[in-house]
Amino acid sequence: MTALDLNNKRILVTGGAGFLGRQVIDQLCQAGADKNKITVTRSRDCDLRVLENCQRAVDQQDIIIHLAAHVGGIGLNQAKPAELFYDNLMMGAQLIHSAYQAGVEKFVCVGTICAYPKFTPVPFKEDDLWNGYPEETNAPYGIAKKALLVQLQAYRQQYDFNGIYLLPVNLYGPEDNFDPKSSHVIPALIRKVHEAQLRGDKQIPVWGDGTPTREFLYSEDAARGIVMGTQFYNDPEPVNLGTGEEISIRDLIHLICELMEYDGEIIWQTDKPNGQPRRCLDTERAKQAYGFVTQVGFRQGLTNTIDWYRKHGA
């Protein structure tokens, strides 16, 4: 398996200042990239919904890793479906087109697990991506991101443009977004438990009934999978990045409480949405295609995330 030599490559990482982006840059450097040749876009300085900004961003670049996204949990998906659809579609579509026009050597698009149909056989296989409509609360976001897979495959077919599409499962880790208005489930629960401890609360409310299952990928592992894909994968088919292990939300909150030494009662808010019933990926393609397997166990990853939040985020 011949690796793409990252040394001397000019690499653009959209969203590179974010939670996952910082890890991707670290992994790029470990894989031989020159940090001085890595460019990062920030939304406040470079709105990728504007075509001219995309054109400027990709100019003179060899590799684009597109991580930038307008994303959040169920609450944000319910409140702003139109924004999530428009922002993610326009950023990605214009960036891919601009990269093709600029003669970029490789485009790495990071998609979302929300693209899968609501009722997908578990574990999710990449070949099932189109076999149904996504779970309703995150469908606008998921469909916008999935459209970029179609674009990359079309550009490969017509223009021989080398674009790949990676599908990481739910991410977590240090430096995650802990804002209760837009955070995903793990940072939201860690913050909820932490604040309950500070107040001395004996119970905490949690959305849904606890039955849905989720799979979680530690951010450092996800970044390594993305960089390995950049180096070694050049095929049109999408690739799942995950652990292949699932946990129910009920078991997840009990594990977080155990690790944080909180013994209060969980109050299930069954009037709130559960989201997709199950999420767990088949990770065989990533393993077979370029040898990606995860390295950080779930308990260790959660412990690292809790420790970071208690030091920096609280």
Annotated binding site: 15-21, 145, 168-171, 184, 192, 207, 214
CA-CA distances (angstroms) from residue 48 to 52, 135, 137, 190, 282? Answer: 8, 27, 24, 32, 32
Catalytic residue among 141, 165, 218, 309: 141
Q: Residue 302 corresponds to which amino acid?
A: L
Can you spell out the DSSP letters for the chain? -PPP--TT--EEEETTTSHHHHHHHHHHHHTT--GGGEEEE-TTT--TTSHHHHHHHHTT-SEEEE-------HHHHHH-HHHHHHHHHHHHHHHHHHHHHTT-SEEEEE--GGGSBSS-PSSBPGGGTTSSPBPGGGHHHHHHHHHHHHHHHHHHHHH---EEEEEE-EEE-TT----TTT--HHHHHHHHHHHHHHHT-SEEEEES-S--EE-EEEHHHHHHHHHHHHHH---SS-EEES-S--EEHHHHHHHHHHHHT---EEEEETTS---SS---B--HHHHHHH-----S-HHHHHHHHHHHIIIII-
Q: Binding-site residues for substrate, please? A: 192, 207, 214
233 is catalytic: no
Compute the distance between CA of residue 140 and CA of residue 88 in angstroms, rounded to an integer.
9
Q: Binding-site residues for NADP(+), please? A: 15-21, 145, 168-171, 184
**Which residue numbers are catalytic?**
141
